[in-house]
Every structure is written in structure tokens, then in C-alpha cells.
Amino acid sequence: MNKQSLCAAVFAATTLASSMSLAEGSGFTVTPSVGFMDYEDDRNTDDAFLPSLGTNELDDDIFGSLGLGYRFDNPWGIELVYQRGEGDTDPESATDYVYEGYRLDGLYHFDNDSNVTPYLAFGGGYVETELETSGVSTTPDETNLNAGGGLKIGLSDLLSLRADLRAFREFDERHVDLAASLGLQFKFGGSGSSSKSSSASAAAAAAAAAAAAQAAAKPADSDNDGVPDSRDNCPRTQAGIQVGRSGCALDDDGDKVPNHRDKCAGSEAGSLVDATGCYVMLEVDKQISLKVNFANDSAVVSQQYNSEIQQVADFMKQYPETKVVIEGHTDSRGSASYNQSLSERRAAAVALALVNRFNVAPERVASVGLGESKPVANNETADGRAAN
């Protein structure tokens, strides 16, 4: 038989593969097979098996085999195989032969996600052949090496169709014979593909269920800012803007201009700022009337005027770049020099109240005494003198 057609016959068995995915698992295997042995053509010239047959050759024959193996939980497996066949010589004569062989093979599998598992095989063994010619029997034997490969096609978790092709090299005579076989492999014990795939499916299902449960338990967040809608005071925040616990854009300096639009970060609390977060600048001087009256010949600022002084402090906080000058006045009673000194002490006392009581920076506050030279009211009347 032509060796090319022999290979084609063996691997045509792959068309029997089903569409389901059944990758092989570990466990013990039992594989009964039938096959075809193709002997090398020139065995008649130098084969010790046929010392008395002249030009006769061994005819190709059908054989049966039984393999007992174990597939490890990795790509490797081992198998002990018993093989038996019988046939005639070619051309036919009175010579018949029967052979029995034993071999131990190692198998390396190429596992994948399909139900077809290719493998490579190699091993060594012993063959005993009984030749019978005209009632005379001889039993030559030999040892050999083999190499080849095949396919295992999963039909179920415990059953596979197996196609195998081997080349046998005789140690003594150095002949190379080919064998092709087809069998059923039964698996016992170990881990099955179904259990693996079932475990994987169960794990995937559990993960999907957990993800679904997590998604269901997660509160709605329409703008995806990390703050659930139930407590989001700014539900339409644009993507990429940092928000606080309330879901609104952060405003670190509290000037009501969010950080992403604030060009002057660090504004003082309570100051007036424009749309960019920078201070509003006064374009002209502004005069504020601060009426703080003192007891006669006194420079002590009474607590009752705190509200009036607070108004000046608040104005200065709104405009952090402003500075203030406190002016002090007196009436015309007494000497002019004394009144000048008294007005200076009174102005300085109000300035100190701004600094100490309302935390206005001292460099922003100045004072000046105007004495009786610039009265705010007419010194000729009692009411005017009281106002001064």
C-alpha cells in the first residue's frame, strides 16, 4: 500500500469530529483499535525473519491492539500497548506469519479549546513473529523504536475517537514500517473536560451574577461624578470636573467661583471677586462716614460703636486691595495743640479697633488727626461741638 494514501486514510477520520468543545482531561485510558501495517518492500533481501523464503516479502496486514494508559494533568501521558496481527507472504506461498508486540509510549498533547486534541508519540517495544512454512515453525523476535502522532476527537467527556499513525524502526535490520490505526478511547477517573468547563461556566456565571447584583445595588449617578443622584446638589456636572460630597464643583477658597474657572485661587473669605475669581478693583476713592463719638477729653473707643466699625471692616474684606485712613476730629474748646494731639489719639484708637477686634491687616490701616482745624460740624453750637 502506498504510504501517502495510508496517511490520508488515517487523518480523514477528523471529518467525524463533532462541533461541541470537549478538551481532554486527566485520567486512566483504555483504547481498543484496529489498524493496517505497511511493511517496507525490501525486507526479503536482508531480513533475518525470512532466511529461507527467497524473494518472498511480508504482505501488508490488518492488526488489532489494546492500549492501557494514563493522561496526566498536563500535556503528557504514557501508554502500554499490546498489538497482534497475522498475514501471508507476497507472492503467496505456504508461509504464514503471526506476530505479537508490546511497547511503551510517551504522548505529548496539544490541548486547545476545541474537541480535537492533536498529539505526538514516541516509544520502544518488542515484537515476536511466528513463521510457519510446510509445517516448520520459527519464532524470530526483534526490538524497535517508534515515533508518530495522531488526533483524539472528543465524543463525550469519557469517550474519544482516536486516529494514530506510527513509523517503526527495527534495531537489528533497520527496516522502517508504517502503521495506521483507528480506535475508541475510554477514560476513567481523573478530571473531565465537562467538569472543568462546568466549573469555568459556573465561575463565569457567578461573576456575571455578582456584577449584575453590584450594578443593581449601585445607586443612580446621572452625571457620573461619583455622587449618587439622591444627594447630588449639582446633577449636571460636566465630565472631568472635580466635585465635593454634595456633587458640586470644588471651590477651595470659597469665593463662589469653582476651581476649574478660578484664575485667582486663594481669595480671602468674604472678598468681592469677578467671574474669574479675581478681586474686584475700586476705580475711585470711596469715603465712608464712621461716626465714633468719645467722652470729653477721651480717646477710648466704646464697645457700642463696634457695629459701625464692623461695617468698615466688612467693606475692606470685600475689597482686599483697599486701604483705609481714619480721620480724627475735636471741637474748638481747649488749646489747638492739645486738640490736635487728642484727635490723633482718637483716630489711632479706631484704627487699632479695626486691627484687634476685626482682624484687618495693620498695613492696610492708617490714621490721621485733624484737630479743630477741619471740624465736621459748626463749633459755635452745642450740637456741632458734640459732633466734633
Asked if residue 344 is part of any domain, the answer here is yes
| Shared-domain flag, residues 16 and 158 | yes
Same-domain pairing of 314 and 367: yes
State percent of the chain over pLDDT 70: 77
19 assigned to some structural domain = yes
List of long-range contacts for 343-350, beta carbons under 8 Å, 24+ apart: 343/369, 343/370, 343/371, 343/372, 344/368, 344/369, 345/299, 345/369, 346/292, 346/294, 346/299, 348/299, 349/299, 349/300, 349/301, 350/290, 350/292, 350/301, 350/309, 350/326
- Max mean pLDDT range (6-20, 124-138, 176-190, 365-379): 176-190
> Are β-strands 324-328 and 365-369 bridged in parallel, bridged antiparallel, or unpaired?
parallel
Total Cβ atoms within 10 A of residue 121: 20
- Place 6 in a pLDDT band, splitting at 50, 70 and 90: very low
Q: Label residue 206 by pLDDT band (50, 70, 90).
A: confident
Q: How far is CA 115 from the centre of its chain?
A: 30
Predicted confidence at residue 144, as pLDDT, reads 92
Distances (CA, A) of 214 to 211, 223, 226: 5, 19, 15
How confident is residue 136, by pLDDT bands cut at 50, 70 and 90?
low
Task: Quote the pLDDT of residue 61.
Answer: 82
Residue type, 77: G
26-43 pLDDT, tens digit each? 899 999 999 999 988 765
Query: Are 247 and 335 found together in one domain?
Result: no
281 domain-assigned: no
Domains: count for the chain: 3
Q: Is the N-terminal amide bond of 91 cis, ω within 30° of 0? A: yes
Tell the residue number behind the cell numbers 474748638, with chain if given. Answer: 332
Question: Could you give the residue ranges of the DSSP H alpha helices within the chain?
Answer: 3-11, 43-46, 193-217, 306-318, 336-358, 382-387
Q: How confident is the model at residue 1 (pLDDT cuts 50, 70, 90)?
A: very low
Q: In this structure, are 46 and 152 located in the same domain?
A: yes
| Angle subtended at Cα 128 by Cα 124 and Cα 129, rounded to the nearest 5 degrees | 130
Residue 14 has pLDDT above 90, yes or no: no
* pLDDT reported for residue 20: 43
Q: Kindly report the length of the chain.
A: 388
CATH number at residue 355: 3.30.1330.60
Residue 277 domain flag? no
- From residue 64, alpha-carbon distances to 49, 99, 322, 387 in Å are 21, 11, 109, 132
Cα end-to-end span (Å), the chain = 136
Is 188 inside a domain boundary? yes
Query: Do 265 and 351 reside in the same domain of the chain?
Result: no
Q: Considering only residues 327 and 49, tell me which one the structure prediction assigns the higher pLDDT.
A: 327
Indicate whether 155 pLDDT > 80: yes
**Looking at the predicted structure, is the pLDDT value of residue 208 above 90?**
no
Q: Do 250 and 316 belong to one domain?
A: no
Based on the fold, state whether residues 308 and 371 are members of the same structural domain: yes
> Using one digit for the tens of pLDDT, what is the confidence trace for 240-295?
899 999 999 999 888 889 998 998 988 887 778 888 888 877 665 777 778 888 88
Of 170, 192, 214, the one marking the end of a domain is 192
Q: Which residues of 67-86 are buried (b: 16+ CB within 10 A; e: fewer)?
A: bebbbeeeeebebebebebe
Domain at 58, CATH number: 2.40.160.20
β-pair type (95-109, 116-133) = antiparallel
Q: Using pLDDT thresholds of 50, 70 and 90, give the confidence band for residue 148.
A: very high
Please, which pLDDT band fits residue 22 given cuts at 50, 70 and 90? low
Q: What is the mean pLDDT of the chain?
A: 81
Q: Indicate the residue among 269, 290, 315 that finishes a domain.
A: 269
Q: Both 249 and 375 in a single domain?
A: no
Q: Is 205 helix (H, G, I), strand (E, B) or coil?
A: helix
Please give the helix or strand (H or E) that residue 56 lies within, else none. Answer: none
Both 169 and 246 in one domain: the answer is no
> Where residue 301 falls among pLDDT bands split at 50, 70, 90?
very high
Residue 324, domain extent: 303-387
225, part of any domain: no
* Higher pLDDT, residue 92 or 272: 272
Whether residues 188 and 243 share a domain: the answer is: no
Whether 54 is in a domain gets the answer: yes
Residues 128 and 84 in one domain: yes
* Residue 51 and residue 159 in one domain: yes
Query: Does a structural domain hold residue 341?
Result: yes
Residue 185: what pLDDT? 98
Q: Do the beta carbons of residue 276 and residue 262 sit within 8 Å?
A: yes
